[in-house]
Copies of this chain bind each other. A is one copy, B any other.
Amino acid sequence: MHYETLIETVKARREMLNVTQELLADLSGVGLRTLKQFESGKGNPTLETLSKLGNALGMELTFAVKDVTAK
């Protein structure tokens, strides 16, 4: 999953839930400035930051061997 895709996924999920950046920042425990930077494509979030966002959004991070079978 490319970085931009990851960002879009998070942003889409947040907007689908009708949650503002400000609320998500509160809910997740991630600083508002950090969230803004992330969603605007700047920065390089840590695993902890992604994890916090995932918890708040009902999303999960997985790291698995790439499937070469499917195209």
A residues contacting B by CB (< 8 A) are 1, 3, 6, 9-10, 13, 44-48, 50-51, 54, 57-66, 68
- Interface pair B58/A61, CB less than 8 Å apart: no
- Interface pair A61/B13, CB less than 8 Å apart: no
- Interface pair B62/A62, CB less than 8 Å apart: yes
From DSSP, what is the main secondary structure of chain A's interface residues?
Answer: mixed
Alpha-carbon separation in the docked complex, A54 to B10 (Å) = 20
Alpha-carbon separation in the docked complex, A9 to B13 (Å) = 27
For A58, give the chain B residue with the smallest CB separation: B66
Alpha-carbon separation in the docked complex, A12 to B65 (Å) = 11
Neighbouring B residues of A61 by C-beta, 8 Å: 1, 6, 61-63
